[in-house]
């Protein structure tokens, strides 16, 4: 299946079963961030910290929980002050910040560790800002060094080495870059299982292939393959990578459609179930017309066609009137 066809199937699926998905993607502010960076926007140190914090909060949790409490984050994190968080004693995470999340049922099993590690990342960025003039340049300079490729930047930020930020793996690094206006996919467990289910990233050892489990691959090479696969879909469809990435995430996440791997695979199937159903119905209708009263059957066929067109999952009619007598 071609990438444009796969994207149309993804859109049709979301439009039908999750009609507000585009507004929700807009609320993430990542598509807007891509446009803002293209227009020359520079991120302040506090905006840079907010972008990093939101990426960290996305780890091992249902994002809808974070969406629910997002309005309270500025007060909890001192207006997203990079300096304040860089100077934060680690004990404050357990004594003040974690109870706030737990009281709102928005914690995760790794949140305490992630927030402590975030102090280390904030200190690196604050020191970088003191020397180079902005925390944002930690990311922009790295992307420039890598020929403008945010995929490679995500690998460097999330893998052991001089550019690694504490607490970030490749997926969280990619999420931070998305928040900062870089057009890249996040190779998390949801997008990994979608790309494997679509057959776009090879995966031989996959015990949970028939359920909702993600493939176990986690190497830098496999993360890069996932990011490249999403980018290929976006390029062919003429859409931002972050839009396609978030749409695919909504197919998979619990706060989205939560499709099984088999259901994901159907979206990328070489066969077109709609076409197959149309052919079968056409054969049935013709057999009725040939063997029974023509006038009565024309009326029955008309009612059947109207019903089938009305119950379509997409806006495209199964039996368009303009093609009557030509294709059906």
Q: Which of 35-44, 295-304, 309-318 bottoms out in mean pLDDT, i.e. has the lowest?
A: 309-318
Q: Could you report how far apart the first and last alpha carbons of the chain are, in Å? A: 25
- Looking at CATH, the fold of the domain delimited by 30-179 is given as Endonuclease III; domain 1 (1.10.340)
pLDDT at 259: 96
What CA–CA distance (Å, rounded) separates 278 from 291?
20
The pLDDT tens digits of the residues spanning 226-281 come to 999 999 999 999 999 999 999 999 999 999 999 999 999 999 986 554 544 555 55
- Residue 157, H or E segment: helix 150-158
In the block, tokens 């393959």 appear at 225
The pLDDT tens digits of the residues spanning 93-102 come to 999 999 999 9
Domain boundaries, the chain: 3-27+185-267, 30-179, 273-323
Task: State mean pLDDT over 65-90.
Answer: 97
Task: State mean pLDDT over 66-89.
Answer: 97
The pLDDT tens digits of the residues spanning 157-199 come to 999 999 999 999 999 999 999 999 999 999 999 999 999 999 9
pLDDT at 297: 62
Residues whose CB falls within 8 Å of the CB of residue 151, separated by 6 or more in sequence, listed in order: 174, 184, 185, 224, 227, 228, 231
What CA–CA distance (Å, rounded) separates 41 from 43?
7
Task: State mean pLDDT over 106-133.
Answer: 97
Q: How does DSSP classify residue 215?
A: P
Residues whose CB falls within 8 Å of the CB of residue 145, separated by 6 or more in sequence, listed in order: none
| 274-283 contact pairs (CB < 8 A, 24+) | 274/318, 277/318, 278/318, 278/319, 278/328, 281/308, 281/318, 282/328
pLDDT at 194: 96
pLDDT at 229: 96
In the block, tokens 């490749």 appear at 170
Sheet strands (E) in the chain: none
Tokens of 178: 């998305």
């Amino acid at each position: 299946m071609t990438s444009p066809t796969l994207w149309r199937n993804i859109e049709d699926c979301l439009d039908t079963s999750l009609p507000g998905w585009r507004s929700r993607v807009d609320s993430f502010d990542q598509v807007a961030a891509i446009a803002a960076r293209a227009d020359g926007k520079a991120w302040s140190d506090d905006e840079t910290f907010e972008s990093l914090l939101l990426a960290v909060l996305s780890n091992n949790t249902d994002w809808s929980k974070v969406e629910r409490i997002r309005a309270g984050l500025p007060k909890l994190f001192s207006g997203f002050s990079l300096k304040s968080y860089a100077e934060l004693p680690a004990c404050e995470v357990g004594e003040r910040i974690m109870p706030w999340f737990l009281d709102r049922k928005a914690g995760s099993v790794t949140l305490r560790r992630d927030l402590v590690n975030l102090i280390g990342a904030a200190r690196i960025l604050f020191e970088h800002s003191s020397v180079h003039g902005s925390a944002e340049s930690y990311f922009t300079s790295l992307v420039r060094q890598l020929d403008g490729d945010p995929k490679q930047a995500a690998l460097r930020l999330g893998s052991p080495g001089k550019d690694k930020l504490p607490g970030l793996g490749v997926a969280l690094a990619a999420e931070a870059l998305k928040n900062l206006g870089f057009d890249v996919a996040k190779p998390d467990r949801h997008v990994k299982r979608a790309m494997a289910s679509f057959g776009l990233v090879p995966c031989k050892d996959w015990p949970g292939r028939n359920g909702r489990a993600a493939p176990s691959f986690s190497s830098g090479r496999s993360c890069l393959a996932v990011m490249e696969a999403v980018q290929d879909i976006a390029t062919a469809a003429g859409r931002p990578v972050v839009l396609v990435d978030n749409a695919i995430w909504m197919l998979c996440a619990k706060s989205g459609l939560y499709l099984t791997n088999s259901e994901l695979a159907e979206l990328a199937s070489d066969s077109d179930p709609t076409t197959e159903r149309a052919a079968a119905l056409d054969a049935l209708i013709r057999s009725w017309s040939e063997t029974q009263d023509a006038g009565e059957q024309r009326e029955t066929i008309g009612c059947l066609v109207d019903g089938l067109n009305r119950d379509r999952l997409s806006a495209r009619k199964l039996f368009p009137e303009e093609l009557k007598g030509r294709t059906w």
